[in-house]
Amino acid sequence: MASSKKSSSSKTAQRLEVKKTYKLYINGAFPRSESGRVYEVTNSKNGFVANPSLASRKDLRDAVVAARAAQSGWAKATAYNRGQILYRIAEMLEGRADQFANEIVLASGVTPKKAHDEVLAAIDRWVWYAGWSDKLSAAFGATNPVSGPYYNFTIPEPQGVIAVAPAESFLALIDAIAPAIVSGNSVVALVPGSAAIAAMTFAEVLATSDLPAGVLNILTGSHDELAPWAASHMDIDGFDISGIDKKKRAELKVAGAENLKRIHNFDGAVSPTRIFAFMEAKTVWHPIGV
């Protein structure tokens, strides 16, 4: 019979790999870009890698709506709880370290050793930031000795919705996201080019973690296209532009001035000031008396 012939001949042929469709990650779901657009990621050795979604302005707006809705709940979670949720993500990353390394090799063409080192560094950094959740007030807060019968204290609070535009690497993505969300902000990440591959696998980790939907949203595509829209969006409070070309930063800052967005870029140093840059200090006064 025809069917048995086919099955016998496939014994000698290679098994056809089941490839992944790379979509966006918005509000805990994996939609395609509403624009229907994709872009091609290739590598010099293997050619075609994938067609990730090319996120549009509407996708950005949808992600901001999701991020805003999720933010206050995330900020209200106890610091211990936020720390555990982030640590749990690190546990899941560790289990998938090989997959991330393989995807980095595939998408960017670096050596397997280099890719593996990058993934392990990213996991360790994630753990480092996760541990900050319940130390921020100790490091950035204060009780202030004012000259009068008042109790006066300063506490750091998350700013709200933060956009991040990291450079085209998995480590840069982790470096941008972790300090922004650990304090209770929600994030819209704009992931450029080939970094989309590992980023969307990271989104699969997030989707099965306890991170509430909308706290972290990942859009893939072009910084040139997405970053100006993020800079001028009136419901984004802060913007990490570390991955944006130096020559293009000024125009983003001009656009961001419309709502006095906190726009920062960091040189790659791992520092708690990267967390505090997207927090606000609130000072409270209350009289002391009987």
**Which residues would be at the binding site for other proteins (CB under 8 A)?**
139-140, 142, 144-148, 150, 152, 154, 159, 237, 249-251, 253-254, 256-260, 262, 271, 273, 280-287
Complex with other proteins: residue 21 or 283, whichever CB lies closer: 283
Give yes or no for a contact between 138 and 158, defined as CB atoms under 8 angstroms apart.
Answer: no
Closer residue to other proteins, CB minimum distance, 10 or 259: 259
C-beta closer to other proteins: residue 36 or 287: 287
Query: What would you measure as the largest C-alpha separation in the chain, in angstroms?
Result: 96
- CB-nearer residue toward other proteins: 46 or 72: 72
User: Could you report how far apart the first and last alpha carbons of the chain are, in Å?
Assistant: 96
| CA pair distance 183, 160, nearest whole angstrom | 10
Cβ at position 156, least distance to other proteins in Å: 9
Degrees to nearest 5, angle at CA 123 with 74 and 48: 100
Cα–Cα distance measured from residue 134 to residue 83, given in angstroms and rounded to the nearest whole number: 7
Q: Least Å distance between CB 272 and other proteins?
A: 9
Q: How many CB atoms are located within 10 Å of the residue 257 CB?
A: 12
The single residue listed with the structure tokens 């304090």 is 183
CA distance 168 to 175: 12
In the complex, the smallest distance separating the C-beta of residue 139 from other proteins, rounded to whole angstroms, is: 7
DSSP H helical ranges for 77-215: 79-95, 97-108, 112-130, 136-140, 170-182, 196-207
Query: Which one, 77 or 92, has the nearer CB to other proteins?
Result: 77
Cβ distance to other proteins smaller for residue 48 or 254: 254
Nearer to other proteins, 116 or 274 (CB): 274
Least CB distance to other proteins at residue 248 (A): 11
CA-closest candidate to residue 79, choices 176, 27, 26, 155: 155
CB of 285 to other proteins, least distance (A): 5
Smallest gap, in angstroms, from Cβ of residue 217 to other proteins? Answer: 21
Q: Between β-strands 279-287 and 47-50, what pairing exists: parallel, antiparallel or unpaired?
A: unpaired
Q: How far is the CB of 98 from other proteins (least distance, A)?
A: 37
